[in-house]
Amino acid sequence: MIVEIFDDFCPEADLEKRIEYAKTAEFKTHEFKGVEYEQIHPLPSDRFVMKEMEYIYEGHFEGFHVLRKGHHPTGWIHADTNCGGMAGVLYLTDHEELTGTAFWSHVKYGQRANIENEEQAAEINGDANDPSKWRLVKIVKGMKNRMLVYDSQLFHSVWPRVGPEDRVVQCSFLNFKPYDEDINP
């Protein structure tokens, strides 16, 4: 799995509950492992997403979930290397032509953040907003109720770089553990 798309991911009633919850959620800046993320609302858990992912990928998942609002930070190309092995984006607003996720390849290091040392990490972070250092690989449109799942090592950003401030997504950061074949053949 590198990038997979699941349309109509949630049942309609579940999706509407998520959207209503997001309308009253408090979005603010949160720090995670030394990095500040703007317009975040942490979620305590999400059994539905976890069960669906376990069914799709036939394994056990652990992880955390947040709501994210807007295009913050604008266009920042990054990888979610400190958040788990897989990432998922569930689009809660319908801005198909105005928002989505772009995947990038760094001109020197490629599509995956296989960071070997602090100097390399600093160089990649320094290039995060320099378009001359990146090649666009793929754009996934942000359709409401679309779940985008990808390897968290892939470089990506919101797309386009500037867009509607009412864009709301649920981000899930997950670690996968295959089922033990002796127990679950």
156: CATH:
2.60.120.620
Among 17-26, 71-80, 90-99, the range of highest mean pLDDT? 17-26
Q: Look over the chain and give the mean of its residue pLDDT values, rounded to a whole number.
A: 88
Asked whether the predicted pLDDT for residue 184 surpasses 80, the reply is no
* pLDDT tens digits, one per residue of 138-157: 999 999 999 999 999 999 99
Sheet holding 28-32, edge to edge: 3-6, 147-151, 86-91, 168-178, 59-69, 35-43, 28-32
Q: Indicate whether 183 pLDDT > 60.
A: no
- 184 in any annotated domain: no
Of 83-97, 121-135, 156-170, highest mean pLDDT = 121-135
| Structure confidence at residue 182 (pLDDT) | 53
Please give the tally of structural domains in the chain: 1
Determine, yes or no, domain membership for 35: yes
Domain of 153 in residue numbering reads as 3-176
pTM value is 0.89
| Residue 159 pLDDT grade (very low, low, confident, very high; cuts 50, 70, 90) | confident
**Torsions phi, psi for 2 (to 5 deg):** -115, -60
Q: Does residue 27 fall inside a structural domain?
A: yes
Structure tokens at 23: 């309308």
Query: 68-77, 103-112, 115-124: lowest mean pLDDT where?
Result: 68-77
Q: How far apart are CA 54 and CA 177, in angstroms?
A: 9
Q: How far is CA 176 from the centre of its chain?
A: 15
The predicted-structure confidence for 163-181, as pLDDT tens digits, reads as follows 767 889 999 999 988 776 5
Where would I find the H helices in the chain? 12-24, 47-57, 118-126
What number is the average pLDDT over the span 66-76? 78
Q: Is residue 183 part of a domain?
A: no
Residue 181 lies in a domain: no
Whole-number pLDDT of residue 72: 63
Question: Which pLDDT band, with edges at 50, 70 and 90, does 52 fall under?
Answer: very high
Contacts of residue 16, Cβ cutoff 8 Å, sequence gap at least 6: none
Residue 113 forms part of a structural domain: yes
Is residue 28 scored above 90 in pLDDT? yes
